[in-house]
Structure 1
Amino acid sequence: MPGVTVEELAEHSHVRLVAGLGAGGRLVYETVLTRTIEPGVHLVLGTPALVEGLAAGDRIRVQAGGAFEVVRHGGNICLLVVPKRPPGADDLGLLRDAFDELGGIVELPADRRFIVITVPAAAGFDAVEAAIDGWTGPRGAHWEYGNVYDAEGNPLNWWEQQQD
C-alpha cells in the first residue's frame, strides 16, 4: 500500500470481517490485514477480495460479529478481477505495468483465481477503466469495483469528499 512504512507493517494484526452471505444463507467472512489505530479502529493494510466497501488505507471501526463501518477512506479504489483462466506471468506483467503507471498494486493468491487491484482514486476513473478494460477485454475477464458503489448500485462518492 502506498504510504505504509515497514514499521507499520510490522505492527499488523488481522480482523475478521463479514463479506456477505454464502450458500444456504450462511455468513461468509474474510480475514483482513490491519493495524490497530485505537481500540476498535483499524487501518486496512491489504485490500480485501471479498469484503465490499474497503480498500487499503481505509480506517474502519470493527463491530461485534465482524460488521464494520468506514471511519475514513484512504483514497484508494479497489478492483476485483475474475479471469476465465489463471493468468500467466506475461499477462500478469502487462497488468502490473498498466497499474504501476497509475500508482497501483496488483495482487493475487497462489491459485490465481482472482486478482485484487488497489489504485489511488487520484489516478482518475477514466485512466483506471482504460487500464482494466485494456487488459480484461482481450482476455474475456470480468472485473468490478469493490468500494465505489453501494448495494443498490449508487456511487458512494467518497473520492469527491476527499478533494475538499
Structure 2
Amino acid sequence: MPGVTVEEVTEQVRLLAGLGAGGQLVYETVLVRTIEPGLHLVMGTPAFVEGIAAGDQIRVHAGGGFEVVRRGGNICLLVVPDAAPGSDDLSPLRDAFEELGGIVELPPDRRFIVITVPAAAGFDAVEAAIDAWTGPRGHHWEYGNVYDTDGNPLNWWLSDQTH
C-alpha cells in the first residue's frame, strides 16, 4: 500500500474468500494492522478475498467474514496470466501503475498478479494501463473491490467512506 511499510504489519487474519470447486470454504491470509480488537487496517491487497484492498479498515467476524468500516481509496485488480510472466515482461506493467501511484505484486510462483492503485487515478487511466499490458498477451483481468457479487458497482469511490 502506498505510504505503508511492512514494519507496520503486526498480524495476519484469515478471511473467507469463497467456496472451492468441491464446495469447501476457501480462506486467504491477509496482512493487517490492528487498530482495536476486531478492527483492522488492511496492509496488503488480497488476491482472492473480494471487496477489499490495502488501506481499507475492516471488522472481522467469526468464521472469516468481515465488513468494511472505512475505505482506503484503493482499487484492486487481479490478473491471472496463462503462463508465469518474466521480470522483463512485468516492467511495463509496473511502470504504468507506478505512474498512477499504484503497485504491482505477485507471489514467487507468479501464478497471479495483484495491483493496488488509488481510485483517484481514475478508472479510464487504470483500465487503459491494464488493457495495454493484458490485451496483447491475452490475459484476463478483473476488479477485486469495484463490483458486488451480482455485478453491480459498489460506488464506494463516490462516497465519504474514503479518507
TM-score higher than 0.5 here?
Answer: yes
How many residues are matched?
162
The reply to whether residue 33 of structure 1 matches residue 31 of structure 2 is yes
Give the counterpart of 2:54 among 53, 56, 62.
56
- The gaps in structure 1 that reach 5 residues or longer are none
Matching residue's letter, 1:2: P
The reply to whether residue 3 of structure 1 matches residue 3 of structure 2 is yes
Matching residue's letter, 1:100: E
Deviations 1:18-76, CA, capped at 9 Å, x for gaps = 00000221100000000000110000000000100010000000000100000001000
Deviations 1:110-164, CA, capped at 9 Å, x for gaps = 1111000000000000000000000000000000000000000000000000479
Moved over 6 A (4+): none
Alpha-carbon distance in 2 for matches of 1:133, 1:91: 14
The within-5 A match list for 1:79-98 is 79-98=77-96
Give the counterpart of 1:112 among 96, 110, 113.
110
Match of 1:23 in 2: 21
Give the counterpart of 1:65 among 57, 63, 66.
63
Match of 1:142 in 2: 140
Matching residue's letter, 2:136: P
Match of 1:153 in 2: 151
- 1:5 to 1:88, Cα distance in 2 relative to 1, 3 A: closer
**1:8 to partner: Cα distance:** 2.3
* Superposed CA RMSD: 1.3
Alpha-carbon distance in 2 for matches of 1:21, 1:60: 21
Structure 1 counterpart SS, 2:72: coil
Q: TM-score, normalised by structure 2?
A: 0.96
Alpha-carbon distance in 2 for matches of 1:3, 1:158: 21
Matching residue's letter, 2:11: S
Matching residue's letter, 1:75: G
Structure 1 counterpart SS, 2:104: strand
Q: TM-score, normalised by structure 1?
A: 0.95
Alpha-carbon distance in 2 for matches of 1:90, 1:117: 17
Alpha-carbon distance in 2 for matches of 1:21, 1:34: 23
- The gaps in structure 2 that reach 5 residues or longer are none
